[in-house]
Structure 1
Amino acid sequence: MPHYDLAIIGGGLAGASTAYYACKQGASVLLLERRDLNLGASGSNAGSIHAQIPFDPFRNLGAEWARRYAATLPLFQASIRKWGALEDELQGRIGLSVKGGLMVAASDTDCAALRDKVEIERHAGLEVDLWDKDMLARNAPFLADGMSLGAFCPIEGKADPFTVAPLYARRAVEMGLVLRRNAEVTAIKHNSDGFLLQTSQGDVTAHRVVNAAGSDAARVSAMLGIRVDIEAHAIQVAVTEKRPPTLPYLLYFTGEKLTLKQALEGGFLIGGGWPARLKGHPVVDHRSMIRNLSIAQDVVPALHGIDIVRSWAAMVNGTADWRPILGEVPDAPGFFLNLFPWMGFTAAPAVSEAIAALALGQTPEIDLQAFAL
């Protein structure tokens, strides 16, 4: 029976990057994916590189929630530093552009809340500048009239979600990773070597296991009797036809859910976490799409009359408090979780390197103890 130092469950960005960093340390690593690489949230999100505290939960859950959530901001900052060197490290293009993120507010209530949120972010060590109406007019002339305040974070940006995880996996395979596609894990049991994993492609053993299965992570953990309160959400994204460069930033709006960015080739990516429908698999909900597009046009008038060329829906994972669940499970030594809700695309490089280090008995560069199950 094949035996590995580390078995990783999940072929998205979290799993592929954890595999890469573990292989880089010389470990024997098996990556198990029940379908194919990058088919879940990692390859279906809008490619945003986030650092600011999201406004929607801040509005709904309040300042105390935000202060607790702010513990994640150093993880984003550490990861964004790694994003900057990732094309050189992985020897490939990933569509990276870091020109900053701008969160804009129109109403007096939202402006006051945005100022409060910025204070919490600054206290956590995140660089955020406040732009008044005049600065918005100078630095963001694409905005509609009526935007009164902006919060600009210079380290935010975007990358190509279709390329990053496969590139991590390709480099890991070159270092010895054993990659099994269409290999669903059906059972996990403790044994004398660590763990026995039963899969649709046969049994294997591993000294340690990382659960990076995203929205399927609760089912995987339950095989060892571990309860993980992770939720699965169906959301959607739309892409427009190509237009001349207009929007340099990752753009958010406090009024309703919106993320908006312009890809390097010219198309606008419009998202923000609007719900899709489930029909056995996630499908685009036209009601969400119409509302999302309407808000985007209200915020950036240049989008009026532009054609949508593609839209899609995908499952993402979430937690009730938006915080990640990371590290070794206290009641299951040798079993690790790499679960980062909503913002996992941003956090993957630094967090996965830390998870790989922990799983190999090393001390990581960043401390994940605050996010243990």
Structure 2
Amino acid sequence: MTRVDVVVIGGGIVGLMTAWHLAREGARVVLLEAGDLGAQASGANAGSLHLQIQYPEFAKYGEDWARAYAPTLRFLEASIAMWQGLGAEVGEDLDVRLGGGIVVARDPDQMRLIEAKARIEASVGIETQILDRDALRAIAPYLSDKAIGGGFCAGEGKANPLRATPAIARAAEAAGATLHADAPVMGLEGRAGAFVVTTPNGSFQADTVVNAAGAKAAKIAAMLGMQIDLGGFPLQVTVTEPIAPLIPHLVYSAAGKLSLKQAANGGCIIGGGWSADVRSHGGLATNPVNFSGNMAMAAGVVPRLAQARTIRSWTAWVNGTPDWRPIIGQAPGIPGFYLALFPWVGFTAGPMTARVIADQVLGHAPAIDLGGISVLAD
């Protein structure tokens, strides 16, 4: 039995950054990751930095849902600001670029929804500029001539997940955190000041436990009798061969599921929430039908991509909740047990999620008020 101050469960960006912040403040921290550090959603996502309300969900769930979700945009904005300075803190260029994001419309009904969405975003201080056909072509001449307009949010962009997670892990270790890969949590019991976390390689006693386990977080919470409405969703992403600089923006389509950006090496990263297949043993595989649909959607929005060869597709489990709202804070009725879960766009929200949780564990005033953002603050 190893005695520590805090056990952090989950070795993605949120878990690693939480351990880093706590260790810098002098806490004895152990991080437990079931597999490789950053090998799940934090390292396998498409690297988008989102700030807008996602168009497909707005179209599906409507304005009431969007108004309830809108306060989270302030959290995402603050987290993106942290992304901009993170590379300097960890001593690594994380390829953070804020070229802005465009939701592209092909018909008037889609434009009306983009305009309605922009009004709700503006209510929490996030500006989305409405562009007609000519204004859209002026800033994005690479788009299909079928585009009639769109919404442009200057605060969106991208980062490189393959660089971010290892760099944060190195920073956490340098600060004094102990990181254990291949250490799945088999058991969790106890109370504040005397939690016991069991792994195949040994057990840990801790005053505090932080659940940053992403898609597996509900299983961890259930060990302490807490039920949370969060699940894992298998998604896939594809990258093309490098092409000449073409797309400086994060591009979405109002006609279907799409997120598209061009990486620093010229490869175009294509995703947008298309499902992967789950194999019988629980592993994931690219779904060829969804792959074709995703590529067709991308080529329909940016015709030049029809001539670009794809070179790799990959998959990842992403955590999600039905209402999209974060679950961040101390668990009700379980003192000392904290949840650090930002569904669907957790890569964007990672830095601020970690900062807020570390603040709460340390007894500091949180960096941002969670009222109206986390379901635990309602």
* 1:317 alignment partner, SS class: strand
| Aligned partner letter, 2:322 | A
Pairing 1:234–2:234 present: yes
Whole-Å separation in 2 of the counterparts to 1:285 and 1:274: 9
Cα drift, residue 218 of structure 1: 0.7
Q: How many residues align?
A: 373
Q: How does 1:1-373 map to 2 (within 5 A)?
A: 1-191=1-191, 193-279=193-279, 280-370=282-372, 371-373=374-376
* 1:242 alignment partner, SS class: coil
Cα drift, residue 5 of structure 1: 1.4
Cα drift, residue 166 of structure 1: 1.7
Cα drift, residue 193 of structure 1: 2.8
Whole-Å separation in 2 of the counterparts to 1:78 and 1:56: 23
Whole-Å separation in 2 of the counterparts to 1:372 and 1:252: 28
What is the TM-score when the length of structure 1 is the normalising length? 0.98
Distance 1:285 1:192, change over 3 A: closer
Whole-Å separation in 2 of the counterparts to 1:338 and 1:31: 14
Percent of matched pairs sharing the same residue = 42
8 A contact 2:329–2:357 mirrored in 1:
yes
* 2:51 alignment partner, SS class: coil
8 A contact 2:189–2:196 mirrored in 1:
yes
8 A contact 1:328–1:372 mirrored in 2:
no
8 A contact 2:192–2:335 mirrored in 1:
no
Whole-Å separation in 1 of the counterparts to 2:69 and 2:60: 13
8 A contact 2:192–2:336 mirrored in 1:
no
Whole-Å separation in 1 of the counterparts to 2:297 and 2:259: 10
Whole-Å separation in 2 of the counterparts to 1:309 and 1:179: 33
What is the TM-score when the length of structure 2 is the normalising length? 0.97
* 1:162 alignment partner, SS class: helix
* 2:241 alignment partner, SS class: strand
Q: Out of 332-341 and 17-26, give the one that drifted further.
A: 17-26
* 2:353 alignment partner, SS class: helix
Q: CA RMSD in A?
A: 1.0
| Aligned partner letter, 1:295 | M
Distance 1:191 1:296, change over 3 A: closer
Cα drift, residue 296 of structure 1: 0.4
Whole-Å separation in 2 of the counterparts to 1:168 and 1:322: 26
* 1:114 alignment partner, SS class: helix
8 A contact 2:209–2:336 mirrored in 1:
yes
- Structure 1 runs of 4+ aligned residues shifted over 2 Å read 191-194
* 2:169 alignment partner, SS class: helix
Cα drift, residue 106 of structure 1: 1.0
* 2:239 alignment partner, SS class: strand
* 2:248 alignment partner, SS class: coil
- Unpaired runs of 5+ residues, structure 1, are none
Distance 1:38 1:192, change over 3 A: closer
| Aligned partner letter, 1:206 | A
Whole-Å separation in 2 of the counterparts to 1:295 and 1:277: 19
What are the superposed Cα offsets for residues 239-276 of structure 1, whole Å, 9 maximum, x if unpaired?
00000000000001111000000001100000000011
Whole-Å separation in 2 of the counterparts to 1:260 and 1:245: 14
8 A contact 1:19–1:169 mirrored in 2:
no
